Chain A
Amino acid sequence: MMQTPLLSFGAPPAPGFADAVTQSQQTFRAALQALAHPGSVQPLAPDCGVPPGLSPGMTAMLLALADVDAPVWLPPGVDDAVRQFLRFHCGCPLVDAPSQARFAAVPAGHAAPALEHCHPGDPAYPDTSTTLLLEVESLDSGAAVTLSGPGIATQRTLRVAGLPAGFWAQWRANHQLFPLGVDVFLVQGNRLCGLPRTAIAEG
């Protein structure tokens, strides 16, 4: 039977933030803290429904950041419920290439795009770059990386498991592009770690 757009909702999407204003602000604050202190782990406390395949932290970040002016890219193969959830709650355009997106969200178990395939921004507007949201397995274990740069007094050690292969080599190339470049958020469960393009990674 042919379904019409009006009635083809199927199962309703998961609910969004219970208190949209407060929780968006808290999540946004955590994101700012994460970028201001690269490599530190910020807690998120979202009270929202979570579509299948996303972590609560990733859901909260997308609810807080994506809107009608911020196109989102999702890897192919992500559950349709996630796309429906974002269209319903954020109203954001869903684009086909990470270079067209303001936010590229990669849930666990999906291949992340290479950093050079994301939009590095325009020399006149470096802030128009793609921001990559990556779900990782752990922010406590895995190979240690030493971070330095703005926001870090001397050095900070970050341990991440579940990053795409060759991520830190791509990161060094990304850092060379400054003032252009891609910013990355690492999400694990309810925790968030920020890697602004200014962060220098060694090891």
Chain B
Amino acid sequence: MQTTRSPSAADAPRRAAWMRVLALAEPQALAQAVQALGPLPAHSTLRPPESGMAMVRARSGGTGAQFNLGELSVTRCAVTLDGGTMGVGYVPGRARGHAEQAAVLDALLQRDDWHDRIQAGVIAPLARAHAERAQRQARVAAQTQVEFFTMVRGED
């Protein structure tokens, strides 16, 4: 018996968290993790993977005025499982397979019978890999950091 997790305010940030991990995962690592899950339930495509552009906006210093940082190519996909659960995937880049796998996993994560297995087998390892990658990049960037300072000039 499959049941769909009931939507609630508490679930929204949790869903956002796993969608973020799926989007930021390396496509190859995600494909391997999905393969390790074995056969998945049948799904039908609601919106086939399609690529487009999204404007990334930022604030200077995190608090300043908003500006357009640049455009990012994004691929999105939506699928439904037989039980009527809809899953959506929005991933950076143009990897259609990545978007579809993210959508299928998003739908399965909303189902009680798959949630824990996918959290343990896919989301947790991918989140760890992403954190390590980010740390490594931060270390490399830190090596090139230059501290600027201005000596006091004797102006009078």
A98 at the interface (CB under 8 A from B): no
- On chain B, the residues within 8 Å of A89 by CB distance are 47
Interface residues on B, range: 10 to 19
B16 at the interface (CB under 8 A from A): yes
Instruction: Report the Cα distance A17→B92, complex, angstroms.
Output: 25
Q: Is the CB of B46 within 8 A of A7?
A: no
Q: A6-B15, A6-B16, A7-B15 are in contact. Are A13 and B8 (CB under 8 A)?
A: no
A52 smallest CB distance to B (angstroms): 15
If over half of A's interface residues share one DSSP class (helix, strand or loop), that class is named, otherwise mixed; here it is: loop
- On chain A, the residues within 8 Å of B15 by CB distance are 6-7
- On chain B, the residues within 8 Å of A7 by CB distance are 7-8, 11-12, 15
- On chain B, the residues within 8 Å of A1 by CB distance are 6-9
Instruction: Report the Cα distance A20→B49, complex, angstroms.
Output: 12
Instruction: Report the Cα distance A11→B16, complex, angstroms.
Output: 19
In-complex Cβ contact of A8 among B7, B44, B85 (8 A): B7
B59 smallest CB distance to A (angstroms): 23
Instruction: Report the Cα distance A20→B50, complex, angstroms.
Output: 11
Instruction: Report the Cα distance A194→B80, complex, angstroms.
Output: 36
Q: Is the CB of A15 within 8 A of B44?
A: yes
Q: Is the CB of A13 within 8 A of B46?
A: yes
B51 at the interface (CB under 8 A from A): no
- Find the B residue at minimum CB distance from A20: B48
Instruction: Report the Cα distance A2→B47, complex, angstroms.
Output: 28
In-complex Cβ contact of B7 among A4, A13, A15, A16 (8 A): A4
- On chain B, the residues within 8 Å of A88 by CB distance are 46-47, 78
Instruction: Report the Cα distance A164→B98, complex, angstroms.
Output: 50
A201 smallest CB distance to B (angstroms): 41
Contacting A at CB under 8 A, from B27-54, are 44-48
Measured CB to CB, the residues of A under 8 A from B are 1-4, 6-9, 11-13, 15-16, 20, 88-89
Top 5 A-B pairs ranked by shortest CB distance? A7-B7, A12-B86, A4-B12, A6-B12, A12-B80
